[in-house]
Amino acid sequence: MKYLIVGLGNIGDEYVTTRHNIGFKIADNISKIIDTEFELKNHAFCANGKFKGRNIYVIKPSNFVNNSGKAVQYWSNELKIKLENILVITDDLSLPFGKIRLKKNGSDAGHNGLKSINNTLKSSNYARLRFGIDNNFRPGYQSDYVLGDFSKEEQKSLIDNIELSSEIVLNFCHIGIDRTMNKYN
């Protein structure tokens, strides 16, 4: 079985430590766990390896979050991966920091990366792991907040939260969405 794991984030050194790049951080950790490295290929940085007999393809789109759909469409078509075997990792303003929620499908909830993927795939029937980044910003400063770094307090538990998120993603690949949701949500 083949799975496509998509970590959302923005390319560029200035975005590496931002809240919006949590998908990239989790994708990097999964790559480390399955002992593979990323290479720049068509529309994404790609890594592939095995986990408990499953073929895992991890991508980080090589354009900005708002245009992530192009990479997801290309790689899902190229690898012939079914929608139910795609999982997108994204930040979520509506969840408290560190709260992790796995969902089978759903709306874009105002997230431009998910909106791009939904529009390109013409579907929202793929799994997503939403990582809570909280909404601790003044009105009109959402962009500054998501493109800002995690606070010192948040950084204390960030590594543990990334590890847990990676575990959830790999369980999705191994035991399926329903059992993983029952175990972690």
Instruction: Say which of 20, 43, 111, 174 is annotated catalytic.
Output: 20
Q: Which residues contact 160 (CB under 8 A, 6 or more apart)?
A: none
Say whether 20 is catalytic.
yes
Q: Are 172 and 126 in contact (CB under 8 A)?
A: no
Q: How far apart are the first and last CA of the chain?
A: 24
Helix (H) or strand (E) holding 128: strand 127-132
Q: Tell me how far apart the alpha carbons of residues 26 and 148 are, in angstroms, rounded to a whole number.
A: 17
Helix, strand, or coil here: 174? Answer: helix
Give me the active site residues, please: 20
